[in-house]
């Protein structure tokens, strides 16, 4: 749940053109998405998934491309 800040910082330096990001924490997702978008990636798709019906827990699936 800590997110992937270090990995996102490395990705923006790389030639990787597509990133599939799965998150269970909206706050760390937003932090990491800011790093990716500042580095040239754009969100192509964002899908919230209610894996645990009846709870307030959601997973976020995102596709970033540059």
For the annotated catalytic residues, the residue numbers are 24
Closest to 23 (Cα-Cα) out of 65, 44, 51 = 51
**For tokens 């998405």, what's the residue?**
33
Q: Nearest 5 degrees, angle CA 41-CA 43-CA 26?
A: 110
């Amino acid at each position: 749940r800590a997110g992937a800040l270090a990995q996102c910082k490395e990705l923006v330096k790389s030639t990787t053109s597509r990133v599939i990001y799965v998150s269970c924490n909206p706050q760390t997702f937003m932090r990491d998405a800011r790093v990716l978008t500042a580095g040239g990636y754009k969100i192509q798709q964002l899908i919230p998934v209610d894996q645990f019906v009846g709870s307030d827990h959601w997973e976020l699936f995102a596709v970033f491309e540059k």
